[in-house]
Amino acid sequence: MDDYNLPFWIYLAVVTVFVGGAMKKILASHLSAGPTLVAWLGATVLVERLWAFCLPAVLLLVLLAVVCCVRSGSGTGPPPGPPAEGKAVFITGCDTGFGNAAAKHLDSLGLDVFATVLDLTGDGARALRRSCSSRLTLLQVDITQPQQVQQALLDTKAKLGLRGLWGLVNNAGVCVNLGDAELSLMSNFRGCMEVNFFGTVSVTKSFLPLLRQAKGRIVNISSPAGDQPFPCLAAYGASKAALNLFTETLRHELVPWGVKVSTILPSSYKTAPSSNNAYWEQQHQQLLQSLPPALMEEYGEDYIAETKDLFQSFAEHANPDLSPVVNAIVHALLSPQPQLRYFAGPGIGLMYFIHSYCPLSISNRFLQKLFVKKTLMPRALRKQSGLEANLGLSNNNNNEEKLQPL
């Protein structure tokens, strides 16, 4: 022990804190077995030389495996939290996707579900009526309209009577993007903010008195795009970043009231309207008609068309199984100790691990390889590259002529 000087012990302490924080995030991220094993091995190699004198690397790996098995085993099955019966949950955006699936599942568990839809006569509303019990209450609400939010609050209060509201699931959201931030219409930025941020804030503020009364839960469906710079998702990502900060602030402020707040970060899932080819074509045509001619000339119609095709292909290959997100919603509502953040879907935990602990250059390259992998440059850059190449070739020819013997 005497051979180790003070700088070594300081270095050991720093590395221990780093590795401990990394493993804490891994264990809380619901990573699949493969990436988790890679993370274990990496952590073991990192500390092997430092801890060889007091803790063999094999023993460290065994301890990490045992801890992870205990954690993963305790996370399976229904959470041993408060009983579902008699508890009321308000969910926004139940026409399709996560909201529709969550409303059905929560109704099957015995909760009183208040589900908002944009159209009471639409397919989503009809499907909920067919498959759910009489406890389900359908409400037509556009969360960007304060009058409709207030009417939904009055209707919910009338049904609850003296009870408070146990859960609020802010699921309603939109993603309207087809390209670079410069090409995104201002209406896209405003539309995403109105629904994903301002609408969610409006619903949350309106229903907070009922949630505080029940010491209940708030579950906000956000996106990794709110934390990381996904290419071509500037408007959507900015609105989700605002939502994430609002959620974090709300979590701290509601601790004295006993209201717990969770964020769910889904991976890519196949939800309407993103799975509809006509939707992408409509967005593409709208963008082409709205761009100024000068901007269209600099980027090129082929560049914009490739972006549309990449988004469409990405949506077509998205996961159709919504159960990881639904299970996360249920856990956040009914677990006695809900997590602050749920990484719902394969690869999300690994993505956040890379984002948190790797250099930005690696994290950004990972996102570029993972998401929209463009092959075309904007037209102006292609012309510039062609001009530079021609100039370079011309200069080489001139130099060769000058070097010719007389």
Residue 195 confidence (pLDDT): 97
Residue 129: band (very low, low, confident or very high) from pLDDT cuts 50, 70, 90: very high
The number of C-alpha atoms within 13 Å of 395 and in the hemisphere containing its C-beta is 6
Is the CB of residue 266 less than 8 Å from the CB of residue 221? yes
The DSSP letter of residue 195 is I
Q: Which runs of E-coded beta strand occur in 271-390? A: 341-344
Q: Which runs of E-coded beta strand occur in 18-126? A: 88-91, 112-117
Residue 275 confidence (pLDDT): 64
Percentage with pLDDT > 90 across the chain: 51
**Model pLDDT for residues 22-81, shown as the tens digit of each residue:** 565 555 544 444 555 555 556 555 555 555 555 454 455 455 544 544 443 334 344 455
Catalytic residues, which ones?
Answer: 236
Helix (H) or strand (E) holding 207: helix 200-214
CA distance 396 to 402: 10
**Model pLDDT for residues 333-370, shown as the tens digit of each residue:** 999 999 999 999 888 888 888 888 888 888 877 777 77
DSSP string, 284-308: HHHHHHHS-HHHHHHH-HHHHHHHH
On whether the pTM is more than 0.95, the answer is no
Average pLDDT over residues 129-154: 97
Average pLDDT over residues 188-199: 96
* 78 phi and psi angles, rounded to 5 deg: -65, 140
Residue 404 confidence (pLDDT): 53
Residue 70 confidence (pLDDT): 43
The number of C-alpha atoms within 13 Å of 226 and in the hemisphere containing its C-beta is 25
Is 185's pLDDT higher than 90? no
In this predicted structure, which of 38-47, 143-152, 176-185, 286-295 has the lowest mean pLDDT? 38-47
Residue 77 confidence (pLDDT): 42
Closest to 279 in 3D by CA, of 304, 299, 308, 305: 308
Average pLDDT over residues 130-152: 97
**Model pLDDT for residues 198-234, shown as the tens digit of each residue:** 999 999 999 999 999 999 999 999 999 999 988 889 9
Residue 127 confidence (pLDDT): 96
